[in-house]
Amino acid sequence: MTTESDSHLGEAVAARIERRWATLSIVVVGVLVGMAIFIGIDHATMPQGHVETADPKTLHLTGEFIESNLGSAMEADGSVTVRAIGQQYSFTPQCIVVPSETPVTLRATSADAVHGLLIEGTNINTMLVPGYVSELPVRFKAPGEHAMPCQEFCGIGHQGMWAKVKVVDKTAFLRMMASRRRLSCVD
């Protein structure tokens, strides 16, 4: 037999449990967002900080994405800048060479469709949208070779758009760089 007061009591209990669960859920969400902020600051991993534009029609005519300027370049501060473009259906340079344990800035854009690049075995992953420059600070731990596929559908030849990244020992890299202004591992 349930009485009027029993029912009210039940309702109050139900509401209380529900409120506790809702509070817990809000805490969970708060922790998740807090974690994102913490990692963003502590590991300085946030999305690209600036928006930059580039005209995909004229990449090959002027500016930093002309053919002879692509590849790895040594900077005055000891870091390395890698410039690359994505086009139907290859990245240029087709084989990127970088030193290990060195800050590397990857600057890339697309000459036609939307492309993307990811380097297998690393967390490096970005979109290349025609009209805009993607810039990514990266660092490779150990020497080795990684596949670098295009990760966004860019046309019928998309499945054939695989490049390579060779990470070499820093001294070896400096030796290779000595005689060249721009470096790639395309033979």
Contact 116, 150 (CB under 8 A): yes
3/123 with CB nearer other proteins: 123
Sign of the dihedral defined by the CA atoms of residues 118, 76, 102, 143, in that order: positive
Q: How far is the CB of 168 from other proteins (least distance, A)?
A: 18
62/171 with CB nearer other proteins: 62
Please give the distance of CA 157 from its chain centroid, rounded to a whole number: 23
78/153 with CB nearer other proteins: 153
Q: Which helix (H) or strand (E) holds 28?
A: helix 4-42
Q: How far is the CB of 175 from other proteins (least distance, A)?
A: 19
Q: How far is the CB of 186 from other proteins (least distance, A)?
A: 7
65/171 with CB nearer other proteins: 65
53/171 with CB nearer other proteins: 53
Q: How far is the CB of 160 from other proteins (least distance, A)?
A: 3
Q: How far is the CB of 181 from other proteins (least distance, A)?
A: 5
Q: Which residues pair with 125 in a beta bridge?
A: 118
Contacts of 82 (CB under 8 A, 6+ apart): 71, 72, 73, 96, 98, 104, 105, 106, 107, 108
CA distance 85 to 95: 12
Please give the distance of CA 187 from its chain centroid, rounded to a whole number: 26
